[in-house]
Amino acid sequence: MDSLLSWYASTPLTMWDVADVVVVAVIIYESLLLIRGTRAMQMAFGSALLVGLYFFSIAAPLQTVNWLIRNLIGYVVFAAIVLFQNDIRRALAHFGRTPFVRAFSWAENDDETIEEVVTAAAQLADRKTGALIVIEREIGLRNYIESGIPLDANVTHDLLVSVFQTSGPLHDGAVIIQENRVAAASCFLPLTVSLAKGSDLGTRHRAAIGLTEENDAVAVVVSEETGRISLATEGQLARGLTAETLRVRLNTLVLQRKTGRRARPRP
C-alpha cells in the first residue's frame, strides 16, 4: 500500500490522464453494448478466460500451458476476424454513426436526406397517399419520437413511401427524421389550437402546424384528398408546392441553416 501511495505521489495526475481514462472507458462501454446478446459475447468471455489462464500459467508456473497459449494466440485472432466479420462490420458502422464522426459528413448526408424526402413526397402525392414527415433541426424532438415506433433506419424514399401505405400498421401519425436517420414512425404530434389556421385543414396539416408552433422543426405534408404537398415551418403552412419548390425550401431551411453554405443545384 505504501509503495502504491508513493508511486501516486510521484506521478501527478494531469488532464491528459483523465481524458485517456475516459476515452478507454467509453470504448470499452460501447464495445460491450455492441456485443451484448450476440455470439461475440461468448468470444469475449473465452478471450478473457484465455488471458487469465495465460497470466496464471506464468505465476504457477505452467510451462506447457504458457507455451500453448503463446503459439495459439495469433491463430485465434485470425479465426475471430473470419468468424465474426459481420459483428465487426456492424461495430464499425455503429462507430461511424457517432456524433463526432457524423460532424464531418453532415452536409453530404443532408443533401441525400432532402432528396429522398422530396422523392417520397412526389411519389406519395401522385398516389394521393397521405403523409406527414418531420425533419428535426436544432430543437430536439425526443418526446415525440418516444411516442412512436422506433425504426433507426436510413432515410430512403422507398421506406417513407412504404410506411405511409394505408394497408400498413404505421401509416397513422408522423415519421420523424433525426440526424439523417428515420428515428421513428407513427408518432403523435400536438394539433394547433388556432382556429384561423386549422379550420379547413385535416389532422395531418393541423399536427404539422401545431408541432412547428412549438419548435423549429419543418414538416412535409401530403394531402390524402388532393395529393397536394405542403410545408409547415414556424407555425405557417405553405400549400400547393411542387417537388422542385419543396427541394429549394428544404435546402434553405435545413441545409443552409446548418452548414451556412449554398445548396448545390440539382440537375
What tens digit of pLDDT does each residue of 113-156 get? Answer: 999 999 999 999 999 999 999 999 888 888 899 889 999 899 99
Is the pTM above the cut of 0.85?
no
Does the pLDDT value for residue 68 go beyond 80?
A: yes
Please give the C-alpha separations between residue 78 and each of 53, 73, 82, 85, in angstroms, as whole numbers. Answer: 20, 9, 6, 11
What residues have CB less than 8 Å from 241, skipping those under 6 apart?
228, 229, 230, 231, 249
Cell output for 212:
412547428
% the chain with pLDDT above 70: 75
Reply yes or no on whether the pLDDT at 110 is more than 90: no
What confidence tens digit (pLDDT) does each residue in 76-88 have? 777 777 766 666 6
105-259 CATH choice from 3.40.1700.10, 3.10.129.10, 3.30.360.10, 1.20.58.1690? 3.40.1700.10
Question: What's the pLDDT score for residue 45?
Answer: 75
Instruction: Return the higher-pLDDT residue of 72 and 22.
Output: 22
Domain boundaries, the chain: 2-96, 105-259
Contact 206, 235 (CB under 8 A): no
More confident residue, 242 or 199: 242
pLDDT in the model for residue 193: 78
The region, left, alpha or beta by phi > 0 then psi within -120 to 50, assigned to residue 179 is left
% of the chain surpassing 90 pLDDT: 34
216 pLDDT above the threshold of 60? yes
Identify the residue with better confidence: 49 or 127: 127
- Contact residues for 203 (Cβ-Cβ < 8 A; gap 6+): 191
Query: Distance between CA atoms of 42 and 191, rounded to whole angstroms?
Result: 49
pLDDT score of 218 more than 90: yes
Q: Is the pLDDT of residue 103 over 60?
A: no
